[in-house]
Structures are given as C-alpha cells and as structure tokens.
Structure 1
C-alpha cells in the first residue's frame, strides 16, 4: 500500500486529493496545524480514513518527525496562506508560510531521504499568480514570472526552490503551476464562492446585493477535483518536472456573474451587484490563461468539468446550504 503525506489537507485541494488517493488504495496522512484547528472536524467528516498528524511548515525539526511517523512514498505540499488579498495585509507571514514553508518541507524531505533507501516523490503547489503581469498569452512553463502580490512572490520563491532541490540534490520534486481552480469546497473569501453563495442567497431572498471589486479581471477557471488528478499524475512520472495545469480558456468576473445568475433564472444581474474600491487589488493581475499542452501530452491529463458546469455545481451546492441555514 503506497503512503502519502498531504500538507494543507484542510483546503479544497487537500480534501479532493485525499479522496482520490484513498480511492487508489493509498494510506493517507494529513498535516494539520494545531490540535484546535477549526477545520479539524471537516476533515474527519469528509475523509475519516486519513490519519492526521500535527505539525507546522515553519518547523523543520517537527516536519522531519512527521515524515518519520508517516514514512511517505509521496508528499503533496499544498499548505500555504492562499488568500491573495490577505497577503498585502501580512506580507511577512505570507512569505514565511507560503514561501519559506516550501523550503522547510523540501529540507525535511531531503533529511528524511538520507535515512531511507527509496526516493520520496515531492509535489509543490505552485500558482498562476506567479505570472502576475503576464509577459505572454497564454502562459506556459517557460513564461517569465512577474508576480504582482506578496502571495505571488512567495509562490515564486517556493517554485524556484523546488527546482533547485531537484537540480542540486536529485530529488524527485515536481511543481504544478495550477491556474484558478474552484469547487463547492472553496472558501467564501474567494471571489467564485463569494459570488455563488451570494447569488444563492439573493435567489432565496436572504441577501439584497453583492459587492465586488474589479469586474473585468479575467481568469482561467477549472474544477479542483480535476486538478488534483494532475498532481497525482505528476508523481507517477519517472522524471520530475514542472507542468501548467489549466483549461486554456479565460472568463471575466462579468462572465462569472452571467453564469451564476443565469443558473438561478436571473438574466440581468446589474440591480444586484455593486462595485467598491475597497475590493480592488493594489496591483491587479488582469489576465491569466494557461497553456496545458505539456500536461496533456506527457501526463495524459485534461479537464473534465467546463466553466458552466463548474458554476452550476457551485450554485446548486450553495442553494442547498443556504436553504438549510435559512438566514
């Protein structure tokens, strides 16, 4: 039975990946920060077969102990402070966790490998936010990185550190440059879930308006359940490498609003949406669209859920949840 360790297991990717690996016959361990983590019960409810270990990405010695306890064949480093807007409020903490946390995990893995006869396969969750002020359209593995947020800068650090450990120490370390991927499990602070949750509440008469920032920003949105499959496929390759994971299509926030309101039978959303400068980014990323041709050719991966199906899935989930809450 193969063994896998997932950091960031409380997020949408961690939950979907856990389900995928358990289905494939893995013994799965999840790193969770703090015994009183507010998402602990969620993980236990969704993936009760996962064995949870306490640890912190800032503590190399602690991470080494976690590796010794889990003895993984594969490590999926998904842990990060992943809310981009927050990174401007606390750039230092974001850098420590999202950036230096990758270095700590790589170093703990290298030290653990020194005591093991088998190589551990390492996955790093890189991000399309690294492209920031995009230098070419679409963005591929060779596109120049120009991050526009402290989060993006921290992800660039972790990305290049992963490459460096691969080249310096011969580690089987791959990075997935994942473009925006969403699901009903997405946190409500992210714009897609903020929209679908609000639209459901507006439809049910529980909310009057939706307040957003830039409506013209364009993103390449896919389904998180599809993207974790790409992560697993990367670690099955004989040689580690970096891959863009994306749909190859881009949609604006306005397109998102069109799809979400249409899903509840509202054609004109303008009476319900208000823009507020408070929700504008200090340095906006205007357009992200990925070129997944390498992942398709090498990994045999392609997305299964399209944009409209993704929005419909999220709307249906939020209608159920908000109906149950009734407030």
Structure 2
C-alpha cells in the first residue's frame, strides 16, 4: 500500500485529493495546523480513513516529524494562505506560509530521502496567479511570471524553489500550475462561492443583494475534482516536470454571475448586484487562460466538467445548504 502525505488537507483540493488517493488504495496522511482546528471535523467526516498529524508549514520540526511518522512515497504540498485579497493585508504571513513553507516541506522531504533524493515524489501546488500581468495569451509552462499580489509572489518563490530542488538534488519534484478551480467545497470568501451562495440566498429570500468588485475580470475556471487527478498523474511519471492545468476557456465574472442566476431562473440579475471599490484589488489581474497541451499529451489528462455545469453544481449545493438553515 503506497503512502501519501497531504499538506492543506482541510481545503477543497486536499479533500478531493484524499478521496482520490483512498480510492486508489493509498494510506493517506494529512498535515493539519493548530490545536482544535475547526476544519478537523470536516476532514474526519468526509475522509475518516485519513490519519492526521498536527504541524505547521512555518515550523520545520513539525513537518519533519510528520514526514517521519507517515513514511510517504508521495508528498502533496497544497498548504497555503490561498485567499488572494487577504495576502495584501498580511503579506509577511502569506510569504512565510505560501512561499517559505514550500522550502520547509522540500527540505524535510530531501532529508527524509537520505542517499536517494528521488525516493519520495513531491508535488507543489503552483498557481496561475504567478502569471499576473500575463505576457502572452494563453499562458503555458514557459510564460514569464509577473505576479500582481503578495500571494502570487509567494507562489512564484515556491515554484522556483521546487525547480531548484529538482535540478540541484535530483528530487522527483513537480509543480502543477493550476488555473482557477472551484467546487461546492470552495470557501465562501472566494468570489465564485460568494456568488453562488448569494444567488441561492437571494432565490430563497434570505438576502437582498450581491456586492462585487470587478465584473470584467476574466478567468479560466475548472472543477477541483478534475484537477486533483492531474496532481496524482504528475507523480506517476518517470520524469518530474511542471504542468499547466487548465480548461483553455476564459469567462468573465459577469458570465459567472449570469450563469449562477440563470440556474435559479433569474434573468434580470443586474438589479441584485452592486459594485463596490472595497472589493477591487490594488493591482488587478485582468485575464488568465491556460494552455494545458503538455498535460494532455504527457498525462492524458483533460477536464471533464464544463463551465456551466460547474456553476450549476455550486449553486445547487448552496441551495441545499441554505435551505437547511
């Protein structure tokens, strides 16, 4: 039975990945931060077979201990402070966790491997936010990085550090440059879940309006459940590499809002939406769309869930959740 250690086990990707690995017969371990973490119950409810280890990406000793106790064949580093808006308010903490935390896990894995640096296969969750002020459309693995947020800068550090450890020590270390991926498990602070939750509440008469910052920003949105399969496929390859994971389609926030309201039969959605400067980024990323040719050709991966299906899935989940309140 192969063993895997997943940091960020409490997030949407961590939960979907844990389900995937368990279905494939893995012994799955998760790193969870803090005493009495409220997300512990979510993990235990959805993936009770996962063995949890308390640790923190800013604490090398706890990560080393988790690696020693789990004896992993594969390590998936999904842990990060991943809410982009929050990263401007807490740039130093975002740097410590999302950026330097990658180095902490890489070093723990390298030390654990001993004389065989490729003994443990490592996956780093890189992000399309690294492209920021995109220098070409669509973005691919070779596109110049120009991050436009502390989160994007931290992710770029972790990405380059992963490449450096692969080239310096011969580690089997791969990065997945994942474009925006959503699901019903996405946190309500993210704009996609904020939209679908508000639409559900407006439809049920529990809320009057949806307040957003920028309807014109365009993103390449996919389904998180599809994207975790790509993570696993990367670590099954003989040679490590970096892969863009994306749908290749771009949609605006406006289109996302329109699709969400359409699911509940509301066509004149504009009267429920108000724009506020409070929710605009200091440095906006206007359009991101990925070229996943390498993933298609080498991993035989392609997304299964389309844009409208994804939005409908999220709205339907929020309708059920809000109806129970």
TM-score range, shorter chain: over 0.9
Residue aligned with 2:324, SS: helix
Deviation per CA, 1:241-294: give whole Å up to 9, x if none. 000000000000000011000000001111000000000000000000000011
Match for residue 58 of structure 1? Answer: 58
Contact 2:58 2:100 in 1 (8 A): yes
TM-score (norm 2): 0.99
Across the aligned residues of Structure 1 and Structure 2, the Cα RMSD in angstroms comes to 0.9
Match for residue 275 of structure 1? Answer: 275
Cα 1:106–1:189, aligned 2, differ >3 Å: closer, same or farther? Answer: same
- Structure 2 residue 152 is the aligned partner of structure 1 residue 152: yes
Contact 2:30 2:52 in 1 (8 A): yes
Deviation per CA, 1:176-198: give whole Å up to 9, x if none. 00000000000000000000000
Match for residue 287 of structure 1? Answer: 287
Contact 2:117 2:170 in 1 (8 A): no
1:22-37 equivalence runs, <5 A: 22-37=22-37
Match for residue 135 of structure 1? Answer: 135
Q: How far apart are residue 35 of structure 1 and its match?
A: 2.6
- Structure 2 residue 75 is the aligned partner of structure 1 residue 72: no
Residue aligned with 1:194, SS: helix
Cα 1:223–1:117, aligned 2, differ >3 Å: closer, same or farther? Answer: closer
Cα 1:118–1:149, aligned 2, differ >3 Å: closer, same or farther? Answer: closer
1: CA distance, partners of 2:3 / 2:29: 8
2: CA distance, partners of 1:224 / 1:117: 30
2: CA distance, partners of 1:126 / 1:267: 37
Match for residue 17 of structure 2? Answer: 17
Q: How far apart are residue 116 of structure 1 and its match?
A: 6.4
1: CA distance, partners of 2:65 / 2:43: 22
2: CA distance, partners of 1:143 / 1:154: 17
2: CA distance, partners of 1:93 / 1:61: 19
1: CA distance, partners of 2:257 / 2:59: 42
Contact 2:117 2:171 in 1 (8 A): no
Runs of 5+ in structure 2 lacking a partner? none
Match for residue 223 of structure 1? Answer: 223
Q: How far apart are residue 115 of structure 1 and its match?
A: 6.5
Cα 1:240–1:116, aligned 2, differ >3 Å: closer, same or farther? Answer: closer
Match for residue 122 of structure 1? Answer: 122
Residue aligned with 2:53, SS: strand
1: CA distance, partners of 2:132 / 2:286: 8
Residue aligned with 2:233, SS: helix
Runs of 5+ in structure 1 lacking a partner? none
Runs of 4+ in structure 1 over 2 Å off: 115-118
Match for residue 47 of structure 1? Answer: 47
